[in-house]
Structure 1
Amino acid sequence: MISFLISVVVIAISLFVISKLPLGIDVDNPVAALVAGGIIGALNGIWGLFPGWFRAANAIISLGLLPLIGSIIVFGLAAFLVEGFRLRWGIGSAILGAIAL
C-alpha cells in the first residue's frame, strides 16, 4: 500500500511538471494531479497483474508499441475522468503525455 501511495505522489508531481511544458496538458491544481495520478497508478497496476513473461513477450513482439498504446489509453482515460485535468490537443496531447510520463 505504501508503494502505491508513493507511486501516486510521484506520478502527480510528474503530471504537474509535465503540465508546465508546452505539450497540451493542463492541470488546474495539485488535487487534480493527485487524483489523476491515482487513476493512472491504479490502471497501470492492472497491467502488472499479468505474468512477466506475457508482458515481455508483448513488448518484444510489438516492438514496445503495445505498452505505449496502453499508456496512451490510460492517460486519456484519466483526463476524461478527472475534472481539472485536460488534454488540449486530444490524442496528440495524450501521446506526448504518455511518452513524457
Structure 2
Amino acid sequence: MSNFLEDIEKTLARDCNNEQVESIVISKYVNYDNDFDGKSIPLDMLHKPIDWDLAKQVLNYNYDTGYGGADCNAIYLYTKSFIVFVSEYDGATSVNCIPRNPIECEPDYL
C-alpha cells in the first residue's frame, strides 16, 4: 500500500524540480471490474482544472500499487514544465511525469 498524495508529491520533488503546481484534472475512480468505488471525488471537482490545494484534500488516500488494475484516480497535473500522470507497467501502478513542452531529454516508455 502507498499513499496517493505522497506519491504525487514525491514525483513532483524527484522528477519535476519541485515546481509549483498550476492545476490538476481528476477523473472519477472506477475499480478493475468497472464498478464505482469509495475513492470518489465530489462531482464538482471532476474532469475540469481545479486548484492543487483543494485537490490535495481528496487525493490523500491509500491505494495498492501492486499488480492488477489501477487503484486510484487518473490525473493530469500541470506544472510550468511538466505533466504528472498515473501509469501502469505490467499491472503495477506508479505516478510519473513527462515534459510539458519539447525539450532536450531522453524519452522513456510510458
Q: Please give the TM-score of this superposition, normalised by the length of structure 1.
A: 0.32
Which structure shows the higher strand fraction?
2
Specify which structure has the bigger relative contact order, considering alpha-carbon pairs within 8 angstroms and separated by 6 or more residues.
1
Q: Please give the TM-score of this superposition, normalised by the length of structure 2.
A: 0.30
Which structure shows the higher helix fraction?
1
